[in-house]
A and B are shown apart, each in its own frame.
Chain A
Amino acid sequence: MARAVTTNRKLINTLIAWAIGLLIFFPILWTILTSFKTEAQAISDPPVFLFFDWTLENYSIVQERSNYMRFLWNSIIIAGGSTVLGLIVAVPAAWSMAFVPSKRTKDILLWMLSTKMLPAVGVLYPIYLIFIELGILDTRAGLVIVLMLINLPIIVWMLYTYFKEIPGEILEAARMDGASLKDEILYVLTPMAVPGIASTLLLNFILAWNEAFWTLNLTAAKAAPLTAFIASYSSPEGLFYAKLSAASTMAIAPILVLGWFSQKQLVRGLTFGAVK
C-alpha cells in the first residue's frame, strides 16, 4: 500500500517537474528550432513546432554576412584570456590566505568582495577615458584586463573556499619531511587543488563570456565579442527570426554545454562560499 502511494506520488512529481522544466527551457528550445526554419516558416501562423523543412541555410548566411567567426574568436580570447590572467594573479593570493592566514586575511577577503559591488556605470567614464588615453579602446587586450579585474574577487573567493578544504596537516607533514615551499606547492598542493581551480576556471569563463556592460560599451568594430554581435541584431535584422535564432544559438551553445558541467560550482562561486 505505502509503496503504491509512493510510486503514484513519484509519477505526479515527475509529470509536474517535467512540465515546468520544459516550460522554463522552452524559449531556448524554440530559438534552436527556429534557427532551422526558413524565414517564412519562422513567422507562420499557426507556428510550426517540429514538422517543417529543416534547413542549415540560416547558419551559413549568418556566418557569411557578419563574419560570425571573428566575434566568436574575440569572445574566446576575451573570456579565456581574462580567466587565465585572473587565475595567475589569484592562485598565489588565495593560496597564501588559505594556508598562511593572518589577522587581516578576513578583512582583505571582504574588501576584495566589496570591489565587486562597485556599480560599473559609476566608473564608466573614467574607464572610458583611461582606455582612450592608453589607446586600448576597442581592443581585446583592454577587455581582457577589465574583465579580469571585475571577476578577480570571485576567482580569489572561489579558490579560497576550495583551498580551505585541503587539510593543513598534509602540509605540515610535508614540511616535517623537509619539503621546500616550492616542493610543497608543486607536489603536495597542486594535485589537490586542481579540481577547485578547474571549476573556478569554468565558472569565470562563463561569467566573462556573458558579460554585457563593458563588452558593449568599450568595443566597436574590432574587438566586439558575441554579446555585441547579438546586440547589433536588434531591428531591422531582428525581424528575420530564423537568422536571429541561428546567430543566438551559435552564441549560447558553447556556454550552455559548459554551464551544465559547472552547475555544482555555480552556487559556491556566486555566493562567495556562503552557501555550499
Chain B
Amino acid sequence: MATQQSRSAARLMMAPAVILLLGWMLVPLIMTLWFSFRVYLPMRGGDQGWAGLDNYIRFVSSSSFWPSIQVTLIIVGGVLAITIVFGIMLALLLDQPMWGQGIVRILVIAPFFVMPTVSALVWKNIFMDPVNGLFAHLWKFFGATPVEWLSQASLQSIIMIVSWQWLPFATLILLTAVQSLDGEQMEAAEMDGAPVHKRFWFLTLPHLGRAITIVVLIQTIFLLSIFAEIFVTTGGAFGTRTLTYLIFQRVLESQNVGLGSAGGVYAIILANIVAIFLMRIVGKNLDK
C-alpha cells in the first residue's frame, strides 16, 4: 500500500488543481452573491448600497422572467426530444452491417465540431434567409411562400440549429451503448419469435436506459447555457430570450449588475438541480 511519504507527495500533486478550481468557483460566486444584494449600476453611480432582496424580487416579477423560463424549457425540451429520438434511430442504424460504416460515422459526427458561431451564422444566412436562403429556393420551387424562419418560427429554427449540433453527441453515446448490447440475448428473443418492436421495447430500450439518462443530463447542462446560437441569430428578439440571455442583457447591455447577479443566482440554482442527478450517476459509476 501507499506509504506516508507517497501520501503527502500525492496531496502536493493534487494541490494546484484543487486550489485553482476552488478559487475559480468561490471568488466569482461570492462576488455574484454580494452584488445580488446590492444596488449596483456601473454606468449610473456604481455601488449604491444594500438592496436587500429587492433584486431577487424584481428579477422574478419582471415581465420578461417567466417568458424566459418558458423559452429555456422549450428549447432544452425540444432539443432533448429530437436528439434522443433521432439519436436512438441513428445509433441502431449505424450498428447494422453496411459498407462504408466508418465514413458514415464521420459524416454524422461532423456537426459537433463546427464552432457554434459558424453553425448559427451559416444556418441563419445561407439556409434560413427568406430571400436568398436555400430553404427559400426550395420553398419557391414547390410553389410555396418562403418562410421567414428566424422571425416567424424563431424558436423552432433555433431548436433545429441546436439539435443539429447536438445530435452527433447523442448518437455517439447511444451507439457506444448499443454496441455493448448482448447479442445472444437478442438472438434468443428473435428465435422465440419476438417481433421487432417488442425486442426494441423490452430489450434494447432498457439496455439504453443509462446512456439515455446521461445524454439527457449532460445535454441539459450545456443547453441551459447556450449563448452563441441566440447571440448571432436573433439577439434575443422574436421570443427567443432564454434565462441565460436575459441575465446577459441585464448585466452587460443594461448594466444593472445587482439585478443580473440575482438572475445569475437563480441560474446557478437551476443548473445545480440538474447537476445533482448527474453527479449521482457518475458517482455510482466510480465505485465499480
Contacts and interface: CB of A to CB of B under 8 A. Distances in A.
Interface of A: 6, 9-10, 13-14, 16-18, 20-22, 24-25, 27-28, 30-31, 34, 43, 45-47, 89-90, 92-93, 95-97, 99-100, 102, 106, 108-110, 112-130, 149, 152-153, 156, 181, 206, 209-210, 212-213, 216-217, 226-228, 230-231, 233-234, 238-239, 241, 244-245, 248, 251-252, 255-256, 258-260, 263, 266-267, 270-276
A122 B113 contact: no
Contacts of B104: 17-18, 20-21
Contact of A117 (B109, B116, B275): B275
A231 B231 contact: yes
B282 interface: yes
Contacts of A123: 28-29, 31-32, 264
B225 A10 contact: no
Interface residues of B, number: 104
Interface stretch (B74-82, B169-177, B194-202): B169-177
A45 B129 CA distance: 13
Interface string B34-52: 0100000000000000000
Contact of A263 (B24, B101, B172, B282): B172
A149 B264 contact: no
A251 B118 contact: yes
8 contacts: A27-B111, A27-B126, A34-B126, A96-B11, A115-B24, A125-B260, A248-B122, A260-B109
Contacts of B167: 24
Contacts of B287: 106
Contact of B227 (A121, A226, A228): A121
Contacts of B127: 27, 30
Interface string B126-168: 1101001010010011000000000000000000000010011
Contact of A28 (B114, B140, B141, B275): B114
Interface in B232-272: 232, 244, 247-248, 251-252, 257, 260-261, 264-265, 267-268, 270-272
B275 A227 contact: no
Contacts, number: 306
Contacts of B214: 271, 274-275
Contact of A10 (B17, B98, B116): B98
A270 B93 contact: no
A113 B279 contact: yes
A129 B46 CA distance: 13
Nearest to B116: A212
Given A93-B13, A124-B264, A14 B252 contact: no
Contacts of B93: 13, 16-17, 20
Contact of A233 (B18, B109, B121): B121
B117 interface: yes
Contacts of B169: 266, 270
Given A24-B107, A230-B118, A231-B121, 8 more contacts: A14-B100, A20-B93, A100-B7, A125-B35, A152-B20, A153-B21, A228-B117, A234-B232
Contact of A212 (B35, B218, B227): B227
A246 to B, nearest CB: 12
Nearest to B106: A260
Interface string B1-32: 01000110111011011101100110111011
Contacts of A212: 115-117, 227-228
A43 B106 contact: no
A247 B21 CA distance: 35
A93 B18 contact: yes
Contacts of B132: 43, 45, 239, 241
Contact of A275 (B7, B117, B176, B232): B176
A96 B5 CA distance: 12
A263 B105 contact: yes
B106 A272 contact: no
B61 interface: no
Given A21-B104, A216-B228, A263-B109, A92 B16 contact: yes
B33 to A, nearest CB: 10
A127 B257 CA distance: 12
A254 B52 CA distance: 50
Contacts of A102: 7, 10
A109 B14 CA distance: 11
Task: Sort A-B residue pairs by CB-CB distance and give the 6 closest, nearest first.
Answer: A122-B264, A259-B113, A96-B10, A123-B28, A92-B13, A126-B31
A195 to B, nearest CB: 19
A24 B115 contact: no
Contact of A152 (B2, B21, B270): B21
